[in-house]
Amino acid sequence: MSRFVIVTAAVLGLALGAAGSAQAADAKEVFDFYCAQCHGVKGDGKGVNVTKDFATDPRNFTNKEDMAKRTDEDIKTVIRDGGPAISKSPLMPPWASTLTAAEVDGLLAYIRKMGK
Amino acid sequence: MRLLAVTVSLGAALLVTMTAPSYAAGGDAIFKKSCTSCHYTDGPAKEKTIADQLAKKGPELFYAGSKFQKDWLTAWLQAPKPIRPMKYNSLTDKNAGDHPKLSAGDAANVSEFLMGLTSKEVKAGVIQAKSNVQGKNIFGKKAPCSGCHEYSDKGVLRGGKSGPSLAGASKRLNPDWIYAYMTNIKAFKPVRDMPDFASVLNPKDLENVAAYVATFE
């Protein structure tokens, strides 16, 4: 009986682990495609678009202190509606009509991990 | 009678042989032979996922005739210079500028073929290239296209690198296509890293910014 429980738990654990990594991969794919050009693949705010002409510093998601000041709702709002929605730069564009709610949630979780 | 049949058969074979080269030199045939490993021309757009878009080596061309100006296209195919600062679908590798060159004759034929690929989404005669303050403000500040697109500021290239350059847009792009693309971007590219600005800019704003971009040298 106990052996059955262990095996079941192991299988369940593997399944959950696989689901978790699939979700993480999706968020990374979304981040790399839509966000990395300005925020950088590492999330450090050093994307390829950030030249001397770029009028603001894209958020550095690896900065723990700075990210601690941002609420989850602020981050989701700025992703959906763009910088001006939280009094930030319009260089952050609105993605509401491009991304699903689940993709925005996935991005939030992915971004949060960068600061840890 | 048998001689006649053989003669007719030979004549037919000769005719086929003689007509084959002119078919092979047609723009569609040249395109199929040389260009389809990177570009597709049979719309509508095929991409449904990010992976679909990333698998492409070059842009879709099923609306090329609505997007480009023919003189520019014919000249570019003979002496292609990078339009995108970065390699297609890359944020790390620069555009190597290694697009194949065509001879003048092949370029004219391929250009003829591509210019026949039009989109009903692009209405003709809607946008005239015109510098305007509203469009300039949108491009540089309000919904800054310049964040991702390069442009020429009195000969100096400024702006972002991830999107295609808009320097020289006045010679390359059809102003009506610029407007149609911004108005209904999903019809052209359902999966792309450019936001849908029709959701935040009103039709007049879109007209103004399209007219402004269409003036770019």
In whole angstroms, give the CA distance from residue A12 to residue B83.
50
pLDDT at residue A23, rounded to an integer:
52
Q: How many CB atoms lie within 10 A of CB A84?
A: 15
Q: What is d(CA B162, CA B107) in angstroms, rounded to the nearest whole number?
A: 28
Q: Is the pLDDT of residue A18 over 80?
A: no
The pair of structure tokens assigned to B208 is 């103004």
Q: Give residue A59's pLDDT.
A: 96
ipTM: 0.86
pLDDT at A54: 95
Look at residue B75 and tell me whether its pLDDT is greater than 50. Answer: yes
For B192-205, what is each residue's pLDDT tens digit?
Answer: 999 999 989 999 99
- Residue B76 CB neighbour total at 10 angstroms: 21
Give yes or no for a cis peptide into B21 (omega within 30° of 0): no
Instruction: Say how far apart CA B178 and CA B133 lie, in whole Å.
Output: 18
CA-CA distance, A90 to A55, in Å (whole number)? Answer: 10
Q: What was the pLDDT predicted at A14? A: 45
Give the pLDDT confidence of B104-153 residue by residue, as tens digits.
Answer: 999 999 999 999 999 999 999 999 999 999 999 999 999 999 999 999 99
Q: Which of A12-26, A52-66, B55-69 has the lowest mean pLDDT?
A: A12-26
With pLDDT > 90 as the criterion, what percentage of chain A qualifies?
A: 77
How do residues B23-46 score in pLDDT, each as one tens digit? Answer: 445 999 999 999 999 999 999 999
Give CA torsion, residues A95, B52, A37, B127, to 10 deg: -60
Q: Which residues of A fall below an 8 Å CB-CB distance to B? A: 29-30, 32-34, 36-38, 41, 47-49, 51, 53-55, 82, 90-91, 93-98
- Interface contact flag, B195 A94, Cβ < 8 Å: yes
8 A C-beta contact, residue A90 and residue B143: yes
Q: What is the pLDDT of residue A62?
A: 97
Distance CA A54, CA B62 (A): 33
pLDDT at A16 over 70: no
The minimum CA-CA distance between A81 and chain B, rounded to whole Å, is: 9
Contact state of B199 with A94 under an 8 Å Cβ cutoff: yes
- The percent of residues in chain B predicted with pLDDT above 70, rounded, is 88
Band of residue B2 on the pLDDT scale cut at 50, 70, 90: low
B53 neighbourhood in chain A, CB within 8 Å: 33
Q: Determine, for residues B162 and A48 on separate chains, whether the beta-carbon distance falls below 8 Å.
A: yes
Whether B193 sits inside 8 A of A34 (CB atoms) is yes
pLDDT > 80? residue A37:
yes
